[in-house]
Structure 1
Amino acid sequence: MEELEKLKYPIGHFECPDEISKADINRWITVLDTLPKRLNDLVGGLNEKQLDTPYRNGGWTVRQVIHHLADSHHHSYTRFKWALTENRPLIKVYEEKDWSNLIDAKSAPISLSLNYLTAIHAKLVYLLKHISASDYQKSYIHPDGNMNVSVAENLGKYAWHSNHHYAHIKNLMERNNW
C-alpha cells in the first residue's frame, strides 16, 4: 500500500499553512506561472504510445492527466472569480473521473490543453498578482463538508495540484527512461 500511495501522491498531500504568508502566495503564483512551460517542455517530445501510458496501474494516462489539468484549472479559475465577486458563494463540484473518461480527455491532441493552460494560467497569474491582501481572504464554500476555502488557500491547492500531476508524468518518464 505504501508504494501505491507514493505513486498516487508523489509529492505528498496538500498541507495548507495555518498562516499563509506573502512569501507563500508569491511562491504559489510562481508555480502557476511556470507550469505551462514546464509541462510543455516535459511532454513535448512524447509520442502517441507514451501519451497513452498510465502513470500507474489503474491511473490516468499522460494524455488524461494533461487534459485533467486544463479542466481542473478551468474550474479553479472560475472559483477564484466567484470568491472575488460574490459573498462566499457555494461552488459546484464536477466529477473529474467522469470528465477524464470523455472522448476529448482520452484522445484529443494534448496541444489543445497545453495551449489552454498557457492562456488560463496567464490570466490567473495576472489576476493574482494584482489583487489586494484583503482579496486573498475572500472565500467560497465547497459543498464537500461545507468547507470555507479562501482565495489564498485555493491558490496553494492549485500550486500543489500543478506540481502533483507534473510529478506523476515526470516520475513515469524516469521509470521508463523516456
Structure 2
Amino acid sequence: MLDNIRFPIGQFEPVQNPTPEQRNKWIQEILVLPKLLRLTVKNLSNEQIYTQYRPGGWTVQQVVHHMADNNMNAFIRFKKALTEDNPIASSYREDLWAELSDYQNTPIEISLNLIESIHSRFVTLLCSLSTYEFQRTFMSPTHGFMNLDVATQRYAWHFRHHLAQIESLKQRMGW
C-alpha cells in the first residue's frame, strides 16, 4: 500500500527509440505540467502545505521545492550533454536538501514561479533539438549513461510522479 502512495503512477519505464510523436507528447507534457501543479496546490492552507504526502515522506512544501531543485539540475544536465562529450552529471542528496531552511521557510510560490520559468526555457530548448541531439548522452551517478531521449521521458515522469503524490494526498484527505 505504501508503495502505491510513494509511486502513484508506477516506476519509470523508458521507451527505447521513441518516435517524434512520442517525443513531442513528452515535451507538451513538460510545457503544461507547471500549470497543473499550480492548480493542484492553489487552495491549500498552510496546514495542508505542511502535511506529509505519506507517513515518513516529505510535506507538500518539500515536494514542490524538490521539484524546482530537480528541474534546475535536469536543465543543467541537458545543457552539459549538448555541449560536452558524455559529461558526468552532478547528483545531490535530495533527502538532505529537503531538510535545509529554504525548504522549510520559503513560500511555495517562489518555487512555482521558478518551475514555470525553467519549463519555459526547457521547452524552447527541447523543441530546437534534432533527433541526433536527443541521442547525446551524459553519465548519471545513479542511472548510468543516459541519452536525452530517455532523460526527457524521465523528466516528464518525475514531474508527473510528484504531482500525483500531491493529488493522491488531496484525494485521501478529502481536500
TM-score calculated relative to the size of structure 2: 0.97
Q: Is the 8 A contact 1:39 1:166 kept in 2?
A: yes
For 1:1-178, what aligned pairs fall within 5 Å after superposition?
Answer: 3-144=1-142, 147-178=144-175
Aligned length: 175
Partners of 1:61 and 1:107 in 2: how far apart?
Answer: 13
Q: Is the 8 A contact 1:93 1:143 kept in 2?
A: yes
Partners of 1:153 and 1:144 in 2: how far apart?
Answer: 14
Q: Which digits, 9 at most, give the CA deviation of each residue in 1:5-51, with x for residues without a partner? A: 10110000010012222122111111110111111111011110000
- Residue type matched to 1:162 in 2? F
- Residue type matched to 2:153 in 1? G
Partners of 1:44 and 1:4 in 2: how far apart?
Answer: 26
- Residue type matched to 2:68 in 1? A
| Deviation larger for 100-109 or 6-15 | 100-109
- Residue type matched to 1:79 in 2? R
Q: Which digits, 9 at most, give the CA deviation of each residue in 1:123-159, with x for residues without a partner? A: 00010011111100001011236x1111111100010
Q: Which runs of 5+ in 2 are unaligned?
A: none
Partners of 1:107 and 1:175 in 2: how far apart?
Answer: 26
TM-score calculated relative to the size of structure 1: 0.96
Structure 1 residue 104: deviation in Å? 1.0
| Deviation larger for 23-32 or 66-75 | 23-32
- Residue type matched to 1:161 in 2? H
Q: Is the 8 A contact 2:16 2:150 kept in 1?
A: no
State, as a whole percentage, how many aligned pairs show the same letter.
38
Q: Which runs of 5+ in 1 are unaligned?
A: none
Partners of 1:30 and 1:14 in 2: how far apart?
Answer: 18
Partners of 2:21 and 2:78 in 1: how far apart?
Answer: 19
Partners of 2:35 and 2:115 in 1: how far apart?
Answer: 10
- Residue type matched to 1:5 in 2? D
Partners of 2:7 and 2:21 in 1: how far apart?
Answer: 24
